C-alpha cells in the first residue's frame, strides 16, 4: 500500500476534517510516519490530500483549511 491509501483514514467520514477524532488522529500519525519512511515531501502529501478532498466534493474553503491543518500538524520531508 502506498501513502495515498492512508489519507482517507486521517479524515472524518462525515465532516472530512483532518485528525479531529482520536481514531482519525492515530491514523494521521500513521500516515505521517509512512510518508516520512518513504521520503514523501510535504508538497506531495498536500497534493494527494487536495486530490482526495476534491474527489469527496469538498469546497475550496474547506480544502484550504484542511491543507493548512495537515501542514501544521505534520512533519514530512
pLDDT at residue 18 tops 60: yes
**pTM for the whole thing?**
0.93
CB 38 within 8 A of CB 5: no
User: What confidence tens digit (pLDDT) does each residue in 19-58 have?
Assistant: 999 999 999 999 999 999 999 999 999 999 999 999 999 9
Residue boundaries of the structural domains of the chain = 3-72
CB 46 within 8 A of CB 74: no
- Give me the pLDDT at residue 36, please: 93
Q: How many residues does the chain have?
A: 77
Amino acid at each position: 500500500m502506498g501513502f495515498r491509501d492512508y489519507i482517507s483514514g486521517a479524515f472524518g467520514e462525515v465532516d472530512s476534517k483532518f485528525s479531529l477524532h482520536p481514531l482519525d488522529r492515530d491514523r494521521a500519525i500513521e500516515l505521517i510516519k509512512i510518508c516520512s519512511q518513504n521520503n514523501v515531501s510535504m508538497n506531495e502529501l498536500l497534493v494527494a490530500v487536495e486530490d482526495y478532498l476534491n474527489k469527496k466534493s469538498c469546497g475550496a474553503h474547506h480544502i484550504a483549511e484542511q491543507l493548512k491543518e495537515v501542514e501544521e500538524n505534520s512533519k514530512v520531508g
